[in-house]
Amino acid sequence: MEIVEIVERSLVAPSEETPKERQWLSNFDITISPTIYTSLIYLYKFNGDPDFFSVPTIKAALAKALVLFYPLAGRLAADKDGRLEIDCTGEGALFVVARSKLTLGDLKDYQPSIENRKLFVPDLKSETSPLLMLQITFLESRDVVLGASFNHCIVDAHGDFHFMQTLSSIARGNAFSVPPPLLDRALLRARAPPIVSLNHPEHLHVEYLKSVGYTGLYPPFICTILKLSKDQINHLKSISCRRGSSDTISTFQAVSSHIWKCLCLARNLAPDKESHLLFPVQVRSRISPQLPKYYFGNSCACGLVSAKVSEVVEFIPQRIREAVGQIDDAYVRDSIDYLEVADKESLSRRFGMTKYDLSISSWLSMPCYDADFGYGEPVFMTVTDTGIGGIAFLIKNPGKDQGISVLVGLEIETLKQFKAIFYDFN
């Protein structure tokens, strides 16, 4: 038997008739490659229930959830001008059942990697791929690994977790405990005519990448998870206070500043060169009118901080705080308009990174562990991998643990140096 053996592979369609229509995608959606998926791993400990993760129960819940989230049962298509949109065909989501000789003990030190993603998450990436793919893997120990993969140009992490909340609540018999998604993306249309600022951070970053001859090629990388306790996080926050700052520093700002500092040191970057921190910022409450809480789609603007490497290694969470504070309605509208008029080359470079760049996504406000299918919350969850080096995710730890996990992907030699200095908070 292979490490993971596929037992069943099928398409699960919505349990009721759903609208057959084409849905417009916003600029935040279509500028993400249609081949990029956000893939999640959940680990559930066997609770003694003889029907633990009953396949018929999960499939029935998936079919019901797809009635509410019916775009996920469709496929990507193009309109007459070649712009991506969703063809709501109702074809369904991919559902896979697998079994493995692995045990919970084998996965206690689980590390995100492309190899592990291929074991536990379906991987069918083509122009006609399902927009949602789920895999339930039953371990030898009767524990379960649940893998979920969402097409990123359809929805962001906020929507991913909303769907998982809905799916799990239906599975445990509480079908109406989670509000339905809002599927209208019109609130994120560009202005007519678009108004583009040449000082907009995204535009400036693209111009920087052009100036340094960015190629889009990245060296091999590996991922690891590093944990920070509540006391360690508070220590990082206190560093600014000890240096005379009266600003309130958030966990994201303090930890991101520390990661940025460690990366500059691990890569041995030239002190006089400029480094950049990129981070997605959820804009739902930052625009006017506000997006509804359960808006379904990508709704993150790109935040960016630039600083000399010598400044970064001095620890500068206040600079991150200032950059976050600048993201208001005007900033978001500029971003949408920039994406409306930018050429394809510029759009392809939008998230490009050099060795002087770092991207950090915060999932600290996400309901990462709110996925109880009736058998208890997951004992562990993570994103499967970072895709390229130079990317990090901040994820809450489970239960009452008030610490966080830093999932980071870096070049092999860089990661060794990074891990060696990560817990040096001086």
Could you give the CA distance from residue 305 to residue 324 in angstroms, rounded to a whole number?
A: 9
Q: Give the model's confidence band at 351: pLDDT under 50 very low, under 70 low, under 90 confident, else very high.
A: confident
Give me the architecture of the 201-421 domain, per CATH.
2-Layer Sandwich (3.30)
- Residue-wise pLDDT for 197-247, tens only, equals 878 888 889 889 989 989 888 999 999 999 999 999 999 999 877 665 657
Domains 4-188 and 201-421 share a fold: yes
Q: Please give the Cα distance from 336 to 339 (Å, whole number).
A: 5
Name the DSSP class of 186: G
The domain ranges of the chain are 4-188, 201-421
Task: Decide if pLDDT at 1 tops 60.
Answer: no
pLDDT confidence of residue 244: 57
pLDDT bin (cut points 50, 70, 90) of residue 361 is: very high
Please state the pTM of the whole predicted model: 0.95
Catalytic positions are 152, 372
Q: What's the whole-number mean pLDDT along residues 124-139?
A: 87
Mean pLDDT of 283-295: 94
Say how far apart CA 117 and CA 149 lie, in whole Å.
Answer: 10
Task: Tell me what pLDDT residue 425 has.
Answer: 85
Separation CA 56–CA 43 (nearest Å): 19
Any residues with CB less than 8 A from the CB of 184 and at least 6 apart, and which? none
Q: What is the average pLDDT value for the chain, to the nearest integer?
A: 93
Give, in order, the Cα–Cα distances in Å from 318 to each of 35, 199, 253, 311.
36, 21, 8, 12
Confidence of residue 294 (pLDDT cuts 50, 70, 90): very high
Number of Cβ within a 10 Å radius of residue 367: 14
Provide the pLDDT for residue 176: 79
Judged by DSSP in three states, 352 sits in: coil
Distance of CA 423 to the CA centre of its chain: 25
Architecture of domain 4-188: 2-Layer Sandwich (3.30)
Question: Is pLDDT of 350 > 60?
Answer: yes
* pLDDT at site 401: 81
